[in-house]
Amino acid sequence: MHVQEKEQTVAGQSWKVYTLENDHGMSVSFLNYGGIITNITVPDRNGKLENVVLSLANYEDYLDNPNFFGALVGRVAGRIEGSSFSINDKKHLLPANEGDHHLHGGSTGFHQILWETTSFETDTQVGVHFTHTFPDGDGGYPGELDVSIMYTLTNENNFEITYQATSDQDTILTTTNHSYFNLSGDLKRDILQHDVQINASQFIELDHELIPTGELLSVDDTVFDFRKAHPIIDGVHSIDQQNLVASNGFDHYFIFDHSNQPNVTVTDGESGRKLEVLTDQPGMVMYTANGLDDSIQLKERNSTKYLGVCLETQGSPGSLKHEGFPSIYLGKDETYHKTTTFAFRTLND
């Protein structure tokens, strides 16, 4: 197992490009800019190693990354309605970057930070430790926030992301990674035939601007019932109003039933690849790339609708306006600590 580190000059900045590789040939490459994952190479059922995430063709393209390809997301992943929230009876205004709403931490979020990084190697794992201190008021958020994130690869083909943070004031926080997964390998096909299983009995209803209405809906008798695996394409052909508001697909928060692990399983029958997601987050936004078009140059090909699926494990920003949603409140001097593991397997295992 080893870590490779290279320097790359991008728009006058010195970026670091890291590659973690285990003893079985699995590798994960990423930047210290935005923590952006640019490559995850894993075997198919025949042992063929191919990339299973979407990445832009050129590093420079990540300077403007409105689709958040591969990026760390914070301080708050998801949409904050009306770009404002109140804490301790004080209203905080955030910059609107999607209509009237604040999306994925805004323009100064985690995805556009040049993180301090340190690599590590042991007999059982390799990884990189990211750190950054966000000043009080940065991006409109209260509290000086010390953030520590670790990317770790094991010999079991597990890629683990651990998030830790503390604030010197009461604040809000929920973090995620916005990688688009495509298990076909090197983007040979879209993800419509990927089978998904999610241990979730409820999901959050959205309005036409993808803002939570405040209603928790049962998955029973809908295409949102992934308790038994079924393909993503079912949501594309669905006439359910919730699929229609998401541009014929999914962009919804599922609340996990934590009685079973893994929380999520994605399989591609043709390649034989399987991805299991295990997390202590309360839920996940599954986004099926309904908003992509063919205008973006990716490493292997141009982008298309439904070319990847994001599995954004996180709390719910809807909790800022509605009762009963997974909270994103972080108290002064409390420690935020969350872990998500992406375990890559094959159907042969």
| In the chain, domain spans | 2-346
What pLDDT, on the 0 to 100 scale, is given for residue 261? 83
Mean of per-residue pLDDT scores for the chain:
97
What pLDDT, on the 0 to 100 scale, is given for residue 349? 80
| 101 DSSP assignment | B
Q: Which residue would you say has higher pLDDT here, 211 or 260? A: 211
- Once rounded to an integer, what is the mean pLDDT over residues 151-161? 98
- Kindly report whether the global pTM for this prediction surpasses the value 0.85: yes
What percent of the chain is modeled with pLDDT above 70? 100
- 252: Cβ contacts below 8 Å, ≥ 6 apart: 203, 204, 206, 224, 242, 246, 285, 286
pLDDT of 32-77, one tens digit each?
999 999 999 999 999 999 999 999 999 999 999 999 999 999 999 9
Q: Report in angstroms the alpha-carbon separations of 15 from 2, 12, 32, 36, 116.
A: 20, 9, 6, 11, 10
- Once rounded to an integer, what is the mean pLDDT over residues 297-312? 97
The residues assigned a catalytic role are 178, 312
pLDDT band of 317, cuts 50, 70, 90: very high
Q: Which residue would you say has higher pLDDT here, 314 or 107? A: 314
Tell me the CATH number for domain 2-346.
Answer: 2.70.98.10
111, 36 Cβ separation under 8 angstroms: yes
163, 276 Cβ separation under 8 angstroms: no
- 57: Cβ contacts below 8 Å, ≥ 6 apart: 297, 298, 299
Beta bridge partners of 153: 126, 159
What percent of the chain is modeled with pLDDT above 90? 97
What pLDDT, on the 0 to 100 scale, is given for residue 44? 97
Instruction: Name the phi and psi angles at 108, rounded to 5.
Output: -115, 30
What pLDDT, on the 0 to 100 scale, is given for residue 282? 97
- Once rounded to an integer, what is the mean pLDDT over residues 236-260? 94
